[in-house]
Amino acid sequence: MPPSPSLRVGPSGWDYPDWRGVVYPAQRARRVHPLEYVSHHFDAVEIQSTFLGPLKPEIARLWLAKVAHNPDFQFTAVLARRFIQDRSLEAGEIVRFKEGLWPLAAAKRFGCLLLQFPWAFRFTAENREFLIQLRRAFHEFPMAVEMRHASWMADEALGTLIDYRLGFANIDQPEYASAMPPSALVTSSVGYVRLHGRDRGYWRREFSGAGPDRAGDYLYSPAELEQWVENIQHVRAHAQKTFVITTNSVAGKSVVNALQLESLLRTDPGSRTPRLAVA
């Protein structure tokens, strides 16, 4: 089954200084925007800058222009840490955050809002209620949740995600006590897979609150990626649309691994061949 509009693979973020000369040409022409360059080779990208704060509507409209050539391209975005970590539900902040996403949604380019919770966010009655409140606050958008603690594998926890149409983000991360294991779960119409790498320093950053802006300096081997192909195909078969995001962005490693995943998922020799050369 070849990649199609129902399955989109791409990196988390696209504008990093250390991608120059690795992902992008060392002397990039001024007229070539990094997002435009990436969108020639992938059908999805995760906006990770929204973890720090809301996107400006005018920037969203600029980005839409840069991806206009690719009719299958969609964005996902990480919900701001203000809501996740600080547990703010202030109405004005919610409105401002949504304002940056409306242009993407109106253009049918917005695939999913990702709620990334830390390992300490375990399945409890209090945390369940907070999750429901967030769902109601951002109810206009498709949503997926990334839970890093294995307690969210409980039947009651998964039932909550199903009841409130929250997608389950299947993640790959370094092993740790009660950490979420690799999975292939689908709890809504949106399937989500997120590969963080297996850098041993991951949990140190997790507990420091560093967030998703730069993942570890880890490059998956082809064999490690192969382990995820069956899971991805399972998610894809049971979701209306599926996003596979690589977050190991240091030195363009997320691009390398995303290209490799596209190749592994492609079985139709007539499907699009990636043209992005990564040094």
Position 28 scores a pLDDT of 59
Tell me how crowded residue 85 is: count the other CB atoms within 10 A of its CB: 16
Position 266 scores a pLDDT of 83
* Gap between the Cα atoms of 189 and 182, Å rounded: 20
Secondary structure letter of residue 274 according to DSSP: P
Q: Mapped to the 3 state alphabet, what secondary structure does 58-89 carry?
A: HHHHHHHHHCCCCCCCEEEEECCHHHHCCCCC
Digitized pLDDT (tens) for each residue of the chain, 279 residues in all: 344 569 999 999 999 999 998 999 877 556 679 999 999 999 999 999 999 999 999 999 999 999 999 999 999 999 999 999 999 999 999 999 999 999 999 999 999 999 999 999 999 999 999 999 999 999 999 999 999 999 999 999 999 999 999 999 999 998 888 899 999 999 999 999 999 999 877 766 666 655 544 556 899 999 999 999 999 999 999 999 999 999 999 999 999 999 999 999 985 433 443 434 333
Position 213 scores a pLDDT of 45
| Helix-helix angle 155-163:125-137, to 10 degrees | 20
Domain ranges of the chain: 7-265
Global confidence as pTM = 0.90
Domain spanning 7-265: which superfamily? Protein of unknown function UPF0759 (3.20.20.410)
Distance of CA 246 to the CA centre of its chain: 7
Position 275 scores a pLDDT of 37
